[in-house]
C-alpha cells in the first residue's frame, strides 16, 4: 500500500495512505485503552452512572474546537501547502435527516454498544462476532441507498 489516486474531495494526484493507517492505529489504541469500545461503558453512559464517556466526548470536542479555531485564525495550511476548507453540514428545512437518521443510529448504538470506529477496534480486539455487525451495517448502508429517494430528509 504505497499510494492511491484521490480526486475531488482530497488532494489531486497520488497520496500516501500510510499516514492514515498510523492515525487509525493511534485511534484504535486510544479507543481500546479508554474503553469507549466497551458495551459496558456505553450502558453506563446511557444510564447516566459515570462521567467517563461524557468527559471523553466533551474534552475531545473541546480540543477539536480549539484546534479548528487556531487553524482558522492562523490560516494554517496542509502539509502540501493547500488551504484548509471546512464545509458546513447541509441544513435544509426541518432537517429530518438528522433527527430520524440520528435516532435510528442511536437505537443501534444503544443496542450494540459500539459506533462505527469502535466496531473496527472491537474486531481487532478479537470480538470477532462484530464482523457480523459490520456486515449488517453494510447492508444497512446499501438499503439506505435504495430507500433514500423515498425518505424524508428536509
Partner 1 sequence: MPFLEWISQPWPWYVAGPLIGLVVPALLLVSGRPFGLSTSFEDMCAATLPAKPELLRRDWKQGSWRLSLVAGIALGGLLTALAIPNPEAEVAISAATRADLEGLGLTTFSGLAPTQIFSWESLGTVAGFVIIVLGGYMVGFGSRYASGCTSGHAIMGLANLQVPSLLAVLGFFAGGLTATWLILPALL
Residues 60-119 that bind partner 1 (CB under 8 A): 60-65, 67-68, 70-71, 76, 78-80, 82, 84-91, 95, 97-117, 119
Compute the distance between CA of residue 61 and CA of residue 55 in angstroms, rounded to an integer.
10
Give strand pairing partners of 15: 4
Residue 154 interacts with partner 1 (CB under 8 A): yes or no: no
Compute the distance between CA of residue 122 and CA of residue 69 in angstroms, rounded to an integer.
33
Cell numbers for 4, please give them: 492511491
To partner 1, the closest distance from the beta carbon of 26 in angstroms equals: 7
Compute the distance between CA of residue 17 and CA of residue 111 in angstroms, rounded to an integer.
33
Q: Which of 47, 73, 75, 150 binds partner 1 (CB under 8 A)?
A: 47
Q: Which of 8, 73, 75, 150 binds partner 1 (CB under 8 A)?
A: 8
Q: Which of 12, 13, 14, 143 binds partner 1 (CB under 8 A)?
A: 143
Amino acid at each position: 500500500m504505497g499510494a492511491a489516486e484521490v480526486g475531488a474531495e482530497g488532494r489531486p494526484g497520488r497520496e500516501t495512505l500510510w499516514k492514515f493507517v498510523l492515525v487509525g492505529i493511534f485511534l484504535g489504541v486510544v479507543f481500546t485503552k479508554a474503553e469507549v469500545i466497551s458495551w459496558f461503558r456505553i450502558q453506563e453512559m446511557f444510564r447516566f452512572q459515570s462521567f467517563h464517556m461524557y468527559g471523553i466526548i466533551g474534552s475531545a470536542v473541546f480540543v477539536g474546537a480549539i484546534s479548528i479555531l487556531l487553524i482558522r485564525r492562523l490560516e494554517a495550511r496542509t502539509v502540501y501547502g493547500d488551504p484548509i476548507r471546512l464545509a458546513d453540514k447541509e441544513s435544509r428545512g426541518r432537517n429530518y435527516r438528522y433527527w430520524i437518521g440520528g435516532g435510528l443510529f442511536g437505537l443501534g448504538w444503544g443496542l450494540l454498544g459500539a459506533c462505527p470506529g469502535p466496531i473496527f477496534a472491537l474486531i481487532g480486539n478479537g470480538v470477532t462476532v462484530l464482523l457480523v455487525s459490520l456486515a449488517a451495517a453494510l447492508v444497512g448502508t446499501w438499503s439506505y441507498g435504495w430507500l433514500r429517494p423515498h425518505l424524508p430528509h428536509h
